[in-house]
Amino acid sequence: MKIGIDVGGTKCLGVAVDDSGKVVQQYRLPTPHADALCDTLVEIVAQLGEFKFIGIGVPGLISPEGVIRASPNLVGAKELALRQMVEDRLGKKVLVENDATCAALGEWKSGAAHGATDAWVITLGTGIGGGFISGSVLQRGAHGFAGEVGHMVVDPDGPLCPCGRKGCWERYASGNGLSFLANGEKGEDVLSRAKAGAADALGVVDTFAKWVALGLVNLTNMTDPDVIVVGGGVIVSADVVMPRIAHWFEQLLYSPQHRAHPRLVAAQLGEQAGAIGAAMLNTSV
Ligand SMILES: [Zn+2]
């Protein structure tokens, strides 16, 4: 049995995964202040039972040594040596990785990107998480910080981002971005009105889809993937959103008639993607 835990801004979700990759149990607790994070993780592990390996996914900049360098959505988490702390408490090997990188690993090993040699897994949530596989290798970059696509600037004169710059992709193409484009209406409300056929909501979703596609085209120009997996809360309404993203992707792609197009698909593992991927971190070398 292996355990994976996805540390989110509000909750920590742990799963126990058997040798075939199947989730056999899950347990969640609210995310505490960083001072108590190790205690919470140990409690989740205790609830999930015996295991050979534990992997942890955390949002933010995570060093290869498992140190949380900075994590804007985790209160108090700065230069926190989480891997060492949890290993000391449990006496077993632990790996800590960026949460979006974990989600990419999960979708690649047992979800919508299974079998791909080159793939992006993009999660549209509060912000945008990104992870990618190139040449059948999960990419981490020189310092572990690869795939921070949410802060790719797509509009230098756009709205201010918490990262301190203007017009980051996630200002437009995340769940929060959808709400911004709808003048503050909740993203889920826009989507349900769009599903019911409301013309103004469909217009907002179309604009949103164009922003999503713009970023995906940029990623395609950089890495030439064979599949792009799109997940996150917005994709619960995949039937409304995905065809529009695909439409704009075709419109915006560079030299579309002279190349194979990547497949755009909805994520399959839902909110468990990061935890499942974390449980597989020891197979990701
Ligand atoms: Zn930003």
pLDDT tens profile 18-43: 988 899 999 999 999 999 999 999 99
Q: Is residue 139 over pLDDT 60?
A: yes
Residue 175 CA to ligand 1 center (angstroms) comes to: 14
CA nearest 226: which of 249, 252, 273, 260?
260
Distance from residue 244's CA to the centre of ligand 1 (Å): 25
For ligand 1, the distance from its centroid to the CA atom of residue 168, given in whole angstroms, is 5
- The CA distance from 67 to 172, in Å, is 30
Which tokens in the block code for residue 249?
């992707």
**pLDDT digits over 167-220, tens only?**
999 999 999 999 999 999 999 999 999 999 999 999 999 999 999 999 999 999
Alpha-carbon span 260 to 226, nearest angstrom: 8
- β 128-134/68-70 pair status: unpaired
Overall average pLDDT of the 79-104 stretch: 95
Would 2-102+272-283 and 115-267 be classified into the same CATH topology?
yes
Ion ligand 1 residues within 5 Å by Cβ:
151, 161, 163, 168
pLDDT tens sequence across 38-88: 999 999 999 998 888 999 999 989 999 999 998 877 888 999 999 999 999
Residue 161 C-alpha to ligand 1 middle, in angstroms?
5
Q: Rounded to the nearest whole angstrom, what is the distance from the C-alpha of residue 111 to the centroid of ligand 1?
A: 28
Distance 151 CA to ligand 1 centre (A): 4
Q: What confidence tier does 273 reach under pLDDT thresholds 50, 70, 90? A: very high
Give the per-residue pLDDT at 285: 53
Please give the distance, rounded to the nearest whole angstrom, from the Cα atom of residue 60 to the centre of ligand 1: 12
Centre of ligand 1 from the C-alpha of residue 90, in Å = 36
Please, are residues 13 and 30 in contact by the beta-carbon 8 Å criterion? no
Rounded to the nearest whole angstrom, what is the distance from the C-alpha of residue 155 to the centroid of ligand 1?
Answer: 11
Question: How close is the Cα of 129 to the center of ligand 1, in Å?
Answer: 12
Q: Enter the tokens of residue 3.
A: 């355990």
SS3 state at 41: helix
What's the whole-number average pLDDT of the chain?
A: 94
Tell me the pLDDT tens digit for each residue of 235-254.
888 899 999 999 999 999 99
CATH number for region 2-102+272-283: 3.30.420.40
* Residue-range domain boundaries for the chain: 2-102+272-283, 115-267
Q: Which residues pair with 131 in a beta bridge?
A: 121
**Interhelix angle for 187-195 vs 199-223, to 10°?**
110
CA distance 122 to 111: 13
- CATH 3.40.50.1110 for the 115-267 domain, yes or no: no
Helix and strand numbers (H, E) in the chain are: 9, 13
% of the chain surpassing 90 pLDDT: 86
pLDDT, tens digit, for every residue of 116-138? 999 999 999 888 999 999 999 99
Calculate how far, in angstroms, residue 83's C-alpha sits from the geometric centre of ligand 1. 27
Q: How far, in Å, is the centroid of ligand 1 from the Cα of 221?
A: 21
Task: Compute, in angstroms, the gap from residue 52 CA to the centroid of ligand 1.
Answer: 38
Tell me the pTM.
0.93
| Interacting residues of 45 by C-beta distance below 8 A, sequence separation 6+ | 3, 5, 14, 51, 54, 90
